[in-house]
Amino acid sequence: MTNTDKGNIASSILRLFVCGNAVLTWFIAIFEMRSMSALMARTSEGYMLAWALLACGIVGILDVIINDFGLLKMLRFESARTYRHFGFAGLAFCYVSQLFLAVLQLNSPSVAIYCVFNAGMIVTFSLIDANQRSKDAACVKAFN
């Protein structure tokens, strides 16, 4: 296993974590009525954001399962792989929007900090991932 393979595995696992966290946030918001996420989901904006988190999370998980781990050999999900950064931007948008709900409607600084942390982590990882994929694409063109 080369260093590039290890980097791809680490990237896949981190993407799986980020997207799984989005799906888990949706689950908590919809089914755990005593949580702060559920309080946000009870507003019309929060309800739509919860479902947007679920959609982005599922697309990201499918991207990792199909494209990175190759569990479904006959399928290729190239558009999810090519435009992966838009999914990260969608997740970051959802968390930043939840930040505004947490501050303006719930007056909860702890949920606001949680949303800022998640959005910051996703944006940072998205930039690192896009930069690495750009370097990999340049190397393929140069050495083939």
33, HSE (Cβ side, Cα atoms, 13 Å)? 0
Q: What whole-number distance in Å separates Cα of residue 9 and Cα of residue 131?
A: 16
Token look-up 């980097």 returns: 7
pLDDT band with cut points at 50, 70 and 90 for residue 88: confident
pLDDT in tens, 53-86: 999 999 889 888 888 777 666 666 666 667 787 8
Mean pLDDT of the chain: 82
109 pLDDT higher than 90: no
Q: What percent of the chain has pLDDT over 90?
A: 23
Nearest CA among 57, 45, 20 for reference residue 104: 45
3-state secondary structure of 39: helix
Whether residue 17 has pLDDT greater than 70: yes
SS3 content of the chain, % helix, strand, coil (to 5): 85, 0, 15
Number of domains making up the chain:
1
Question: Is 50 exceeded by the pLDDT of residue 30?
Answer: yes
Domain that holds residue 59: 3-143
Number of alpha carbons in the 13 Å side-chain half-sphere of residue 83 = 8
What's the pLDDT score for residue 136?
65
Residues 132 and 125: their CA atoms lie apart, in Å, by: 10
Question: CA–CA separation, 83 vs 89, rounded Å?
Answer: 10
Q: Angle at which helices 84-101 and 44-63 pack, to 10 degrees?
A: 150
- pTM higher than the cut 0.85: no
Helix and strand tally (H, E) in the chain?
6, 0
pLDDT at 1: 43
